[in-house]
Amino acid sequence: MEHKPVEKQVEQSYVMIQALENGVTIFGLTRGPDTKFHHTEKLDQGEVLIAQFTSHTSAIKIRGKAKIFTSIGITTSGS
């Protein structure tokens, strides 16, 4: 009987980012032994991005002034 590897279950939580200025940059970072940037988005003031943490995405970096909504609360990035 062939055994298939058990995939890790990753809680797939969401984050919503609202740009409070033009040029807010969001970077998605990979999961695994080497953390690398795998996706970049630019938002202008008022634009919103909804992102999901997955088995591929372990972190999100935000550069610029933005409001960030998560399951654990709301915070603001930038100055």
Residues 17-51 have pLDDT tens digits of: 999 999 999 998 887 777 777 788 999 999 999 98
Q: Which residue(s) pair with 19 in the sheet?
A: 66
Mean pLDDT in residue range 65-71 = 95
CA angle 53–40–38, rounded 5-degree value: 60
Question: In the predicted model, is pLDDT for residue 58 greater than 90?
Answer: no
What CATH architecture does domain 14-77 belong to? Sandwich (2.60)
Closest CA to 21 of 74, 63, 73: 63
**Which of 52, 17, 48, 5 has the alpha carbon at shortest distance from 31?**
52
pTM over cut 0.85: no
